[in-house]
Structure 1
Amino acid sequence: MLGWRKHIIDKIQFQQAPIILVLDKDNLLNDEFVLKELQSQGFDAIRFEDSITFRFLYEQQYRANMSERQLLIYVNEDVVFPYEFQRKALSIKVSLQTLFPKFSANIIRQVDREDLDVLYTVHQQYQGTSSERETLEYIIKHVYKIPYEMIDSEAGLYKILLSIHYQTKQLPNIVQDYLIEKWLRVPALKSLPLKQIIKSQTFFYHFIERSWQDLVKQCLQMEQGQINDAFFMYESSPLANNDVRRLMNDLFLEGKLSKVKGVTIPDAVPEWMRMGIEEVSNKEKVDTQLKYLCDKIVNCLSSATQYKDWFHINDLIAELKVALIKNNSHVVKVEKILKDVNSKFIHWMFNQYHTLTSLPPYPKPKLVHHIPHVMSKNRQGDEKIALLVLDGMNFVQWRMVQSFLKEKDFLFEEQQVYAWVPTLTSVSRQAIFSGNIPITFGKTIQTTTAEERLWKSFWENQGVLKQYVTYQKGLGNENYERNNIKALKQRSTKIYGAVIDVIDRFTHHAVLGEKSITSNITIWLQTNYLVNLLSDLTDAGFSIYLTSDHGNTDATGVGRISEGVLVEQKGERVRIYNDMTLYEDAASKLPVQKWPSIGLPENYHVLLAEYGQAFVPKSQSIVTHGGASIEEVIVPFVKVQKNEGSGLGE
């Protein structure tokens, strides 16, 4: 697994200086394995973002260990580093060019860091020159395994793109542009919106869904006698290709593609088409989907080691739960799978979560406090942007919201991020609006009153004056009124941050558990509050992002714990102490897990309930948050677009 990483580790591991400053403009240290290996060899790694955050971390987490461990600080750009540290530090550089000398530096800098393992393998076999064109053609064929010269039909193209987009693989722009140039010369592909379906997963799935709807419509016309040649209709469609329909079948089962709704399936329709058509009640089809998802989760779980592996598993769990809710099903096997997932996930959290704090927010965010940094980096000129935080929404609930909004003609560019632990609003939501780790807002970590100040301060540091930044919370509980939305009322607003806390309220009043929440969310969505808000913000010229500060999970009471004033903060799945002696004493007596103080302030000691348990009366079932389960920790980060005007067509 080391491969190219060994060159980086060897350059660092034998250095004797107490502080090592690494200039890493190519983001080579944006890698879990590198950071984990260096940590095992006695290095504490930290990414330098700004002097204030660095000093917080150094004083509270690293200074005491300096006699035992070395401190590795890495930067991704030329920065002014504090002199008192720089004079004690050894400075070194790492770069892609030294790892891949045979390739064009300009081309390989555009390759996703996830693809460096394959790039390293094929680099050793490369016999060409270091020209841009030879490098580019070689990596397209050998890294991305795209036989672009052999694609001469829509079916062939769809097969390639279904595979690429299913893996959520982002091809470098230079690769995309090269493929577009080549495939525009293919007569069978000229009529397709090649640029859009290659560059955007959202566009491609939308395009395939429309093509699928057209095919189903033709089936209905055939049933009604309007089309006579069934063989021609099926065989002429690229969607009927065996490889294409097999890949689409998986996407329907996983909820990536929407099924056609509101039609009666004709008797003559081929069996392979049925998975892409919604049926009112078909137990056999539901059982097929549940089995597929369960098997897929178990398979993915066996190889989950990196933070992104859990995103795929989380996605599958959400689709599994949605299928259960939609069909009012209960499968005992699912409960065991969720328990197995969380057993391994929580172990990963305790051992690997700390690595995320050393990873950069780019190109994709890892933790919720990265979100405003990504928004700022992606902001074009004077673009107006809005961030809507749906407080307490887990990924299953997001799938419900997404499904409703999709029917209202909204489209989504979806990512996933990790909440801060403990998964409390005052910790994780404050991290979102501050753009910082919790250690930096220790004085306000038990409240959310500082969010507006922190939000405006973040954007002021990005060059946006405070008078152009607005913040609002408590939305979603009232009837929607355009004039109640600050971003729309204050026309000077360029940056808008808002909290919609209706789902969190549903969670804390869920008498019947998930069923109550599902029912309440459905009713709330039907008021069109969210649809109207998104539409009005879009019409006002805002680019809209949507996220959650934490999720929620089912839990059963293990009994209330009475400690009075001895505990600083009491939650249903978390207890926080500011005194280490009391913390250690409670940990020895209670059914809890001691959470390591990752990114948390000094004297903020956390005990978490075991998975599926809560500190409420014995046997009481509740939906709550605060712990480190996958349902509480991994949340959506989504860019929302209205289909009209998005360039994605009708």
Structure 2
Amino acid sequence: MPVAKILWVDDEIESLQSQKLFLEHKGYEVQTVTNGFDAIEYVKDQPVDVVLMDETMPGITGLETLARIKEINAGIPVVLITKNETENLMDEAIGSQISDYLIKPVNPNQVLLSLKKLIDNKRLVAEKTTTAYQQQFRELFMALNDNPDYNGWMDIYKKLVYWELEMEKSDSPEMREVFDSQKDEANTAFFKYVSKNYTKWVDPKSAEAPIMSHQLFRFKVLPHVEKGTPVFFILIDNLRFDQWKAIQPLFSMFFRILEEETFYSILPTATQYCRNAIFAGLLPVEIEKQFPQEWKNDDEDGGKNLFEETFFRAQLKRLRREDIRFSYNKVLHHQDGQQLVNNIHNLLENDLNIIVYNFVDMLSHARTEMEVLKELASDEASYRSITRSWFEHSPLFQALKKIADRNIKLILATDHGSVRVNTPHKVIGDKQTTTNLRYKHGRNLNYEPKDVLAFRDPKEAGLPVPNVNSSFIFAKEDGFLCYPNNYNHYVNYYRNSFQHGGISLEEMIVPIIKMVSKAHS
């Protein structure tokens, strides 16, 4: 490892010789100067990893020297050492972007700890992460082989997301590889589990099933709606659990998180099915029966998500909650977002405000089609990073900050997630076969049975039957479904893109988060 170079600036440097020797013994290279002017000249000509600086020196003060050093190289960490404990000096020092603050007299271990934090922090965290994951690997492996139920799978997926985010702190490609193969193994087992249990879950008579899309409002949202405290239900389209974790710190600045839960998205994990099921409180087969004019199958013309508000009204009526005063707001374009910002205070009059925000879904589709976005969101970590950057600057966040001081409840959810696909599977179908990459329905579908979960009778999966003899198939793990004509072109075009509609932990186990404003909690 290269030796870290320290510049120590103090007009009484002679009295610090023992400290200098202590740091050199610990492997640091320490250069000393006695005033701010020399420090500035030194930084101009020499590479420095950290500056330790006395605040009170003749000539120019530590804070003035700090400002000049930052002009030369804004990235150099500076630790201010001072006898002065006054609050306004601390405020000024922190405002001037010091990296640490030590009060004289300092002992050698204090200085050493500060240097370790600034120089070795990344390496120490990476080493600790790798060791901790190695210990947890066995536990996760045992949990996978312990026949988990739907609650067990939600726990396993949360742990995998936790370690995926921790792995970003580690720069070990070997551990990353081990983690990736464990996640693949989990998705293989999850596919088998869903294949075995899905028809039971969607059977209305079933007593043993997780909360799914069509039950979300009834069990997870409406119980929190009461007169006097407005509830904002925010549905961000296509938001995976790891993407929620990326934007969580931004929410935590203004809201207290009370519950961080997950629920199961229905199949297909695609907007028109999941989101309509959420607002209707019904499975797609029932929506089609009750709303034959409004429901559109994949192969029919017309918008597939145009009647969410109509469906929701009918759900409230069915649940005898028509007394709820609600607003329904859909944000598809930046202009809609600005309208939301301008109108947000008026929504405080309602018991429930639904905000459907389309961005992440647009991002995943655009990423498939635009080379620049493929570069920017080349993997899960960068996909999370773009999601965070979008949310931080979005009209949605702007609108929520405007009402963060009011007594409100916030429930954040999504309709489905997405998975990065890599494994192509050939499917042959007639002209009516749908074009989706993670699921298809049509007549006379020809496929390799081991690659998919198939429902010859869609009703078994709670789905409408688009045409006589139509069956549905769902891709597993990281698979995507391609036709044999122009096969190689499509395989290369869609490989490594984020898709949804099939069966994976990332698509099916999705967040529902309850929050309240900090000011009133």
Q: TM-score under structure 2 normalisation?
A: 0.63
Alignment of 1:466-485 (within 5 A): 468-475=325-332, 477=334, 481=338, 483-484=340-341
Equivalent in 347, 350, 359 of residue 192 of structure 2 = 347
Residue in 2 that maps onto 1:550 = 416
Amino acid at match of 1:395: F
Amino acid at match of 1:518: R
1:618 aligns with 2:491: yes
For residues 644 and 364 of structure 1, the distance between their equivalents in structure 2, rounded to whole angstroms, comes to 37
Equivalent in 584, 594, 598 of residue 461 of structure 2 = 598
Amino acid at match of 1:287: T
The Cα shift of 1:640 comes to: 1.6
Q: CA 1:513 to 1:464, structure 2 compared with 1: closer, same or farther past 3 Å?
A: same
Equivalent in 419, 422, 440 of residue 575 of structure 1 = 440
For residues 465 and 326 of structure 1, the distance between their equivalents in structure 2, rounded to whole angstroms, comes to 49
The Cα shift of 1:346 comes to: 0.9
Equivalent in 424, 439, 442 of residue 270 of structure 2 = 424
Q: CA 1:224 to 1:431, structure 2 compared with 1: closer, same or farther past 3 Å?
A: farther
Residue in 2 that maps onto 1:634 = 509
The Cα shift of 1:349 comes to: 0.5
The Cα shift of 1:460 comes to: 3.4
Larger radius of gyration: 2
Q: Percent same amino acid at aligned positions?
A: 19
The Cα shift of 1:397 comes to: 0.8
Q: CA 1:318 to 1:360, structure 2 compared with 1: closer, same or farther past 3 Å?
A: farther
The Cα shift of 1:631 comes to: 1.0
Alignment of 1:196-275 (within 5 A): 267=109
- SS, match of residue 491 in structure 2: coil
Amino acid at match of 1:634: I
- SS, match of residue 621 in structure 1: coil
Give 5+ residue unaligned stretches, structure 2.
Answer: 1-80, 85-98, 103-107, 298-303, 368-373, 483-489
1:371 aligns with 2:237: no
Alignment of 1:114-125 (within 5 A): none
Give 5+ residue unaligned stretches, structure 1.
Answer: 1-222, 227-261
Amino acid at match of 2:142: N
> More strand per residue: 1 or 2?
2
For residues 345 and 601 of structure 1, the distance between their equivalents in structure 2, rounded to whole angstroms, comes to 25
Amino acid at match of 1:341: A
Quote the RMSD (CA, aligned, Å).
3.8
More displaced 10-residue stretch of structure 1: 473-482 or 369-378 = 473-482
Residue in 2 that maps onto 1:201 = none
Q: Is the 8 A contact 1:391 1:501 kept in 2?
A: yes
- SS, match of residue 420 in structure 1: coil
CA deviation profile, 1:8-50 (whole Å, cap 9, x unmatched): xxxxxxxxxxxxxxxxxxxxxxxxxxxxxxxxxxxxxxxxxxx
1:500 aligns with 2:345: no
CA deviation profile, 1:304-342 (whole Å, cap 9, x unmatched): 331100111011011122123454654211122112111
Amino acid at match of 2:438: R
CA deviation profile, 1:122-152 (whole Å, cap 9, x unmatched): xxxxxxxxxxxxxxxxxxxxxxxxxxxxxxx
Residue in 1 that maps onto 2:247 = 401
Residue in 2 that maps onto 1:385 = 231
Q: TM-score under structure 1 normalisation?
A: 0.52
Q: Is the 8 A contact 2:218 2:281 kept in 1?
A: yes
Residue in 2 that maps onto 1:306 = 149
Q: Is the 8 A contact 1:471 1:496 kept in 2?
A: yes
For residues 307 and 411 of structure 2, the distance between their equivalents in structure 1, rounded to whole angstroms, comes to 21
Equivalent in 131, 134, 141 of residue 288 of structure 1 = 131
The Cα shift of 1:459 comes to: 2.2
Q: Is the 8 A contact 1:392 1:504 kept in 2?
A: yes
Residue in 1 that maps onto 2:305 = 448
CA deviation profile, 1:390-409 (whole Å, cap 9, x unmatched): 11111111111113322455
- SS, match of residue 509 in structure 1: helix
Where relative contact order (Cα < 8 A, 6+ residues apart) is larger, the structure is: 2
- SS, match of residue 644 in structure 1: helix
Q: Is the 8 A contact 2:127 2:170 kept in 1?
A: no
For residues 335 and 172 of structure 2, the distance between their equivalents in structure 1, rounded to whole angstroms, comes to 33
For residues 231 and 318 of structure 2, the distance between their equivalents in structure 1, rounded to whole angstroms, comes to 16
Q: Is the 8 A contact 2:344 2:399 kept in 1?
A: no
Q: CA 1:224 to 1:290, structure 2 compared with 1: closer, same or farther past 3 Å?
A: farther
Amino acid at match of 2:133: L
Residue in 2 that maps onto 1:607 = 473
For residues 362 and 520 of structure 1, the distance between their equivalents in structure 2, rounded to whole angstroms, comes to 40
